Amino acid sequence: MMERRSNSPLPCLDLNNFDSAAADRSRYVLTSPRSLESCARLGVKPVQLLIKSLNELIAERRDVPFEAMRVMHDSYEKERTKLLQMCRQERERIIQEDKRTLDRWPGGHKASGLEVLPHTKLKEPSAEIHTTGPVPYADLCSKGKSVSRSTCSVAGKRDSDRSTVCSFSLGDLRHSPATEMQLQKLTKDINKEMCVTVPERDRKIAALMLVKHQEKEARLKLCQHEEQERQEARRLEEVQQAEAEKKRRRKLRQSMKHWHEELEARRRLRRCQEKEKMGLLEQEVMLQEDRWRRLKEEVEAHRRGKIEGAQKEVEQQVVEEEAQMRSTLEKKLQHSCQKRAQVVGARLRELQERGAREDEQIQKAQLRAKLQSIQQLTHKQILVQLSQRRVERAALRASAQRRSRAQQMQQRNKHKQICHLRLREKLQREEEALRKVRENCISVKEWKRERLQRQREQIQEEAHRLARASFHMRERVRQQTHSRTFDRMALEAQLTASISRLKL
């Protein structure tokens, strides 16, 4: 935001309009004297009051996570708002002090017979007003001496660039009845003791000293009243800050407790879900193994039944073929015997030749039958072997598929476990990072609070030193000019006790 401000400053930037849109054209944050004085009293730099967006913080520190930057931005805004409120309260306090001072010591009027010029700071106890007036009584005794230096000084702070020369008459100094009575008493005492009439000039000097004493008394009472008001305001502010800090810490503890409870609930829910998933997976694996076992038994029984049926069928077919061949041969033999019996005589040779041919045919038929039976048996054996090989291949494929599925299931379970472990480690790292960020934010807040406390203590110590210095200076001047009464000593003891309490 400081870079966006141009080199053309605005006429006046105070704590109420420094963050407006028109203030961006100024190269300064604050130009109002009271606002700058309030910041200086609290030890706050004006640049700390500027609004800083979340994007600017992220651009400054890109290596910090977004959640941490958001927490830091919230804490920065709270701290900035608190500092701005304190500066505004201090500015209002300065304005009220100036108003009370102007009402009590108005410029251009006479207070207790003296002219008091306007001033800006009332905390400094005294300043000198140079006048060219009458010389004291001791200088009148020396003849022919001309006096050109000033002889009176009154309380009141002057502006740094102004000096005023004033002359007073005795009529002006008799404006206060108490001053006039005290002056008459002093004059009578001097007349009785020294038998000398006090000149007008010495009476004027005595009146000036009395007025100065009255002004000091009034200023001392005013300072005591303002110090009491400041102490009361500071005490109330410290009490409010302590209460706010207690509330903030209590809210932080409650939020941390709530966050830990939610985290524990999420962990318990995650563990229950994981247990349920593992139970379902175990049940599914057991069901899959049971199904594979039953399928294997069914395939084995079916294979055995097929083999036994094929063997029975082959044996029955062989028996049937042998019975058929036997019946066929018997029929042919009977037919040949009948024919041979009918043509025994004349056709013996023909029958012998035919018998030979028939024998040959029978041999060939038997050979063909044997070959056919052998081929059929071989074919059936081949079929049985092929079916057995198919069954074995199916069993091998089933076992291979079962093993591959079991391996895939194991790999899937292992992958799920690895993913679960990685996810849990990631959550733990995120939780640890978030915890560290919160601890860092808390430590930063504590450090800022301690720094503000130290700065406040330094400011208070500086104010106390200034008050003690001014008090000692007033005390020395008062000891040189006036005697200490009982009331004065009581007021001084009360002021010293209050300053020592503030120091402690």
User: Three-state SS string across 212-248, please?
Assistant: HHHHHHHHHHHHHHHHHHHHHHHHHHHHHHHHHHHHH
In terms of Cα–Cα distance, which of 451, 35, 86 is closest to 241? 86
Domain C-terminal end among 438, 465, 493: 438
Range in 41-50, 186-195, 299-308, 441-450 the model is least confident about? 186-195
Give the number of other Cβ atoms within 10 Å of residue 305's Cβ: 10
In a domain, 411, yes or no: yes
Domain C-terminal end among 62, 84, 104: 104
More confident residue, 28 or 288: 288
In a domain, 240, yes or no: no
User: Three-state SS string across 37-66, please?
Assistant: HHHHHHCCCHHHHCCCCHHHHHHHCCCCCH
Structural domain count of the chain: 2
**pLDDT per position as a tens digit, 51-99:** 878 888 788 777 777 777 788 888 888 888 888 888 888 888 888 888 8
More confident residue, 486 or 387: 387
Burial of 317 from C-beta contacts in 10 A (0-12 / 13-18 / 19+): middle
Range in 169-178, 210-219, 254-263, 320-329 the model is least confident about? 169-178
Domain C-terminal end among 410, 438, 466: 438
Residues of the chain by 3-state class (helix, strand, coil), percent to 5: 75, 0, 25
Mean pLDDT of 431-455: 90
In a domain, 339, yes or no: yes
In a domain, 375, yes or no: yes
Task: Look at residue 340 in the predicted model and tell me its pLDDT.
Answer: 64
Q: How many residues does the chain have?
A: 504
Task: Look at residue 425 in the predicted model and tell me its pLDDT.
Answer: 92
In a domain, 469, yes or no: no
Task: Look at residue 442 in the predicted model and tell me its pLDDT.
Answer: 92
Mean pLDDT of 115-138: 35
User: Is the pLDDT score of 435 beyond 70?
Assistant: yes
**pLDDT per position as a tens digit, 149-186:** 333 333 333 333 333 333 334 444 445 677 777 777 77
In a domain, 12, yes or no: yes
In a domain, 312, yes or no: yes
**Averaging pLDDT over each range in 17-26, 54-63, 260-269, which range is the top one?**
260-269
More confident residue, 233 or 120: 233
**The CA-based dihedral angle spanning residues 326, 328, 334, 340, taken in that order and rounded to the nearest 10 degrees:** -120
User: Is the pLDDT score of 13 beyond 60?
Assistant: yes
**Averaging pLDDT over each range in 183-197, 296-310, 339-353, 470-484, which range is the top one?**
296-310
At 14, give phi and psi (nearest 5°): -115, -170
| Average pLDDT score over the chain | 73
Burial of 201 from C-beta contacts in 10 A (0-12 / 13-18 / 19+): middle
More confident residue, 24 or 72: 72
Tokens of 442: 């808390």
**pLDDT per position as a tens digit, 319-365:** 888 888 888 888 887 877 776 666 666 666 776 677 788 888 888 88
Range in 5-19, 252-266, 332-346 the model is least confident about? 5-19
More confident residue, 107 or 52: 52
Answer positive or negative: Cα dihedral of 147, 149, 155, 159.
positive
User: Would the pTM count as exceeding 0.75?
Assistant: no
Domain range for 410: 282-438
User: Is the pLDDT score of 384 beyond 70?
Assistant: yes
More confident residue, 47 or 166: 47
User: Is the pLDDT score of 276 beyond 60?
Assistant: yes
In a domain, 255, yes or no: no
Mean pLDDT of 408-425: 90
